[in-house]
Amino acid sequence: MRGAFTYLRRLLLASIACVLGAAALVYVVDPLQLFRSSPRAFYSDDTRVQNAGLIRSQSFDTAFMGTSLAIHFRQSDIDRVLGVHSLKLAMTGSNSRQQSFVLEQAIDRGARRVIWEMDDFVFVDAADIEADPYLPVDLYRRTAKGIASYLFSAAMAKESAFTLVRSIPPLREPLSRAAPYLPVKFALADVDDIYALPQDYDVARDYNANKALASFAYITAPSRSRFLGEGYGYMAMVRHFEQDAFGLAARHPDVTFDIYFPPYSILQFVAMRDASPETLKIVTDLTAHIAQRLTQLPNVRLHDFRAIKAVTHDLSNYGDVIHHSPVVDAKVLQWLASGEYRVDARNPTASLDDLKAQVEAYRVPQ
Amino acid sequence: MLFNSYPFILLFLPAVLAGYFWLGKRGNLAPVIWLALASLTFYAVGSWQFVALLLLSIAFNYGIGHLLIVAKLGPSQRRAALALGVTGDLVVLGIFKYAGFVTENINVLAGTHFAVHILLPVGISFYTFTQIAFLVDAYRGQVAAYALPHYALFVTYFPHLIAGPILHHKDMIPQFERNETKLPDARLILCGVIIFAIGLFKKTCLADGIQPLVTLAFEARSPSFDQAWLGALAYTFQLYFDFSGYSDMAIGISLMFGIFLPVNFNSPYKATSIVDFWRRWHMTLSQFLRDYLYIPLGGNRRGRVLRYVNLMITMLLGGLWHGAAWTFVVWGALHGAYLCVNHAFNALVPNIPTAFAIPGRIAGTVLTFLAVVVAWVFFRAASVESALRVLHAMFDPSNIVFGREETAALVLVALYAGLVWLVPNTQTIMGYDHGGRRVGEAFLAGRMRPLVLYGASLALAFGILGIQSHSEFIYFRF
């Protein structure tokens, strides 16, 4: 009996030692660069977590925000075309609560300009940021709970151990090369590669008219068309816009906001027109409201790329009905730089009216 | 409350253990009541709105059981009492679990628009099944009269309450009645902690670790061949480590109280046939379905054809037990068909020559595993249509992506396959013998002791470090 108690005590003490050892390892290696920046750090595509460290460790004057529509931009391209020192913080599938929260952190750390790719669906009703299980707000705020969740984490301990092994000179090169093919998260050597298409990516294979039309057929099938309007409610979306987007821009008059509506393919709106007209009405009413409100703010420049026919009607630019190829990313940066499609405060719905006419007239290729 | 949560591990469990053994020095009944109250608290923390339903269910079944065991009823009255009890249980289960599903199907068939929104009480399938077994056994005259606190504890016992294993009154209540279980047994507590540590590691590190890969197949609009296979395999391993991890934790926690729970998994993916698989997967459910459904239907006693019919009925209902959706019906039907084919094969094909025994077993294992993976696609998919899309991709090798993400996924899936096929299971490592009430004898006396001890401390440490705020058990809502 006494022996078993001794073993039990040993087991529990050894477990405590392991937990503390793992926490010490995470603190020393600091894979997120939450405590100190490191020129030899590696990065993760898990942007909801990675952003907390990027905001702490990178120097920047411009924050870039968006959803998967903006995911394949490269920081270096943004810097080159717009003449800024940017930090890309776009998060796939993010909502306006998450985006606004992360942007606020970036502004607090020195961002003087925000470039914001704004989808209508980011304003759908979702959990409040304090109750959001997917964005570690305490980690961003560096509260005791946030720091503890970082240090006492098996996932971070695993990443730290891998980073440590990778720092051994003979292993550094082969493990760095192999990292993207291994089940580790911190595998990217260059901050530019965070959630961007690999340089050798076969764009034509994944962005072409066949894929866009197949996606259109999929989402408009009678059995799935109800998903087109899932979560869309005009009043709730306006409320979230006012709180998260308008509120953020109004709170920071010294920060310049370049906000743009991305160039979805025309099929996105035609799908709503054909399968869920009530959703199309919500979207157009909401973006009219957004345009009217944002153009009132002197620190906001609103750009609308949704009615640029040469891009949105050329289905070879798309992988589905909304996601465009990197070729379009480059154009978006050019348009932002030139201000060519900036919404005029005197006529804020002009481009929306264009878009409505295009949607009305468009016939899907058979 | 979740087993894989800090409040449970650091507060609830130590407090309940301390109270149980402190009261155990003072008598036999007080610890039982304490544990039953702790179990209700455990349940109420996450599902307070269903506590009344749980208590009503206990009172109803205990009352019917009392009629069957103590009251001097005639045969027809006994039959009526049993029918009332089982019907009552099934009606409640049916309303909470299947009303929405039935209404949806009526709407489709009749073009109506009725809407039923009923929240599913956590654990209702588990506590209903345990009590149906109690009533049937009481009717068969196989139950002694039990005190209400012991019966209530048998139903609510928190290690099993919300996700099993499914308990049997004949196994559990005598253990609750024993005086010895009320005093701390260092060896059982040590073994319980080790088994709990292994289960926690399986859940938080292994199951949650591979979960992101599941989206490759099930949340992609049109997965490629490799993505579909990797996603399906990831789910196959996630489900196993999630549920067997939960069962290990339940067994480990219970062992700390001196109570042996039945084993629920025995390396199911090492099965050499579907019949073998069902002897190794969710074993307590298989036993329940066999004893209280398949055998009462006639089992294999009424000829070969009816045996196959009974198998199909049993597996279809087993599928529906897992969830009120056509995907579960298809999953059950597939396993029913697999079992029929397996039995037909055994009946028609002569014994395999010894020289082919090992290749035959390997082929059987591979074929069984593939059949199980195909069935899991229906189990996991949101709809039959979605499952068919994944399956279509799994059988279309012309569409392969195999980029960086898929390569990394393949490495992880291969690691899990190695764990599943090459590493001994928890009960083997710990020498856990539920029937013989033995555990840990070999390892405590043998050379493996330091390895198991320090391996367990690592598993416990990483299990605790792996706890995430949003990680439920897959079997929670069954």
Q: Tens of pLDDT along A49-106? A: 999 999 999 999 999 999 999 988 999 999 999 999 999 999 999 999 999 999 999 9
Q: Is there a single domain that holds both residue B288 and residue B430?
A: yes
Q: Is there a single domain that holds both residue B154 and residue B227?
A: no
Is B322 a known active-site residue? yes
> In sequence order, which ranges of A41-185 are alpha helices (DSSP H)?
47-57, 75-82, 96-108, 137-141, 144-151, 154-166, 169-178
Query: Rounded to whole angstroms, how far apart are CA atoms A262 and A329?
Result: 10
Q: Is there a single domain that holds both residue B369 and residue B451?
A: yes
The Cα-based distances of B91 to A143, A216, B133 in angstroms read 50, 44, 16
Within a domain: B22? yes
Closest-CA residue to B169 (of B137, B141, B139, B140)? B137
What pLDDT shows up at residue A224? 74
How many domains is chain B partitioned into structurally?
A: 2
Distance from CA of A16 to the nearest CA of B (A): 7
Model pLDDT for residues B387-410, shown as the tens digit of each residue: 999 999 999 999 888 888 899 999
In B395-414, the residues whose Cβ lies within 8 Å of chain A are 404, 407-409, 411-412
- HSE, CB side, 13 Å, CA atoms: give it for residue A228: 31
B477 pLDDT above the threshold of 60: no
B470 pLDDT above the threshold of 80: no
**Position of tokens 């409201």?**
A289
What pLDDT shows up at residue A139? 94
Give percent above pLDDT 70 in chain A.
99
What pLDDT shows up at residue A331? 95
Within a domain: B68? yes
| CB within 8 Å of B247: residues ≥ 6 apart | B164, B165, B199, B263, B264, B265
What pLDDT shows up at residue A2? 59
pTM: 0.88
Within a domain: B171? yes
Model pLDDT for residues B450-460, shown as the tens digit of each residue: 888 999 999 99
Model pLDDT for residues A322-344, shown as the tens digit of each residue: 999 999 999 999 999 999 999 99
Model pLDDT for residues A169-225, shown as the tens digit of each residue: 999 999 999 998 999 999 999 999 998 887 777 888 889 999 999 999 988 888 777
Residues linked to residue A117 through DSSP beta bridges, in sequence order: A260
The rounded mean pLDDT for chain B is 91
Q: Is there a single domain that holds both residue B265 and residue B157?
A: no
Mean pLDDT on A23-40: 94
Model pLDDT for residues B210-245, shown as the tens digit of each residue: 999 999 999 877 899 999 999 999 999 999 999 999
Query: Rounded to whole angstroms, how far apart are CA atoms A29 and B172?
Result: 49
Q: Is there a single domain that holds both residue B176 and residue B196?
A: no
What pLDDT shows up at residue B347? 87
Q: Is there a single domain that holds both residue B104 and residue B252?
A: no
User: Per the CB < 8 Å rule, is B470 touching A134?
Assistant: yes
- With residue A363 as reference, give the H or E element that holds it: none
Model pLDDT for residues B306-363, shown as the tens digit of each residue: 999 999 999 999 999 888 899 999 999 999 999 999 999 988 887 778 888 888 899 9
What pLDDT shows up at residue A145? 93
Pairing of strands A256-261, A300-304: parallel
Mean pLDDT on A224-253: 90
What pLDDT shows up at residue A1? 54
Query: Rounded to whole angstroms, how far apart are CA atoms A216 and A267?
Result: 7
Pairing of strands A300-304, A186-188: unpaired
Q: Is there a single domain that holds both residue B271 and residue B376?
A: yes
Query: Rounded to whole angstroms, how far apart are CA atoms A88 and A51?
Result: 9
Q: Decide which of B121, B156, B183 is a domain's last residue.
A: B183
- Domain enclosing residue B461, as ranges: 187-476
Which residues does chain A have within 8 Å of residue B457's beta carbon, measured at their own beta carbons? Answer: 10-12, 14-15, 17-18
CB burial of B214-245 (b: ≥16 within 10 Å; e: otherwise) equals bebbbeeebbbbbbbbbbbbbbbbbbbbbbbb
Within a domain: B1? no
| CB within 8 Å of A236: residues ≥ 6 apart | A123, A124, A125
Nearest CA in chain B to A181: B408
Q: Is there a single domain that holds both residue B79 and residue B203?
A: no
Q: Is there a single domain that holds both residue B316 and residue B178?
A: no
Q: Decide which of B183, B199, B230 is a domain's last residue.
A: B183
Query: Smallest Cβ distance to A4: which of B190, B209, B458?
Result: B190
Nearest CA in chain B to A2: B186
Within a domain: B17? yes
3-class DSSP state of A44: strand
What pLDDT shows up at residue B476? 59
Using 50, 70 and 90 to split pLDDT, how confident is the model at B469? low
A313 pLDDT above the threshold of 70: yes
Q: Is there a single domain that holds both residue B111 and residue B17?
A: yes
Distance from CA of B176 to the nearest CA of A (A): 22
Closest-CA residue to A319 (of A182, A233, A216)? A216
Q: Is there a single domain that holds both residue B223 and residue B84?
A: no
User: Per the CB < 8 Å rule, is B190 touching A7?
Assistant: yes
3-class DSSP state of B142: coil
Using 50, 70 and 90 to split pLDDT, how confident is the model at A131? confident
A366 pLDDT above the threshold of 80: no
Query: Rounded to whole angstroms, how far apart are CA atoms B475 and A274?
Result: 40
* Residues composing chain A: 366
Within a domain: B363? yes
User: Per the CB < 8 Å rule, is B221 touching A320?
Assistant: yes
What pLDDT shows up at residue B107? 86
Residues linked to residue A303 through DSSP beta bridges, in sequence order: A260, A342
Q: Decide which of B183, B201, B219 is a domain's last residue.
A: B183
A143 pLDDT above the threshold of 80: yes
What pLDDT shows up at residue A127? 79
Q: Which of A2, A16, A19, A181 to mutate to test the interface with B (most CBs of B within 10 A)?
A: A181
Q: Is there a single domain that holds both residue B127 and residue B219?
A: no
Quote the tokens at residue B241.
């480590």
Which residues does chain A have within 8 Å of residue B465's beta carbon, measured at their own beta carbons? Answer: 19, 22, 152-154, 157
Residues linked to residue A115 through DSSP beta bridges, in sequence order: A64, A258
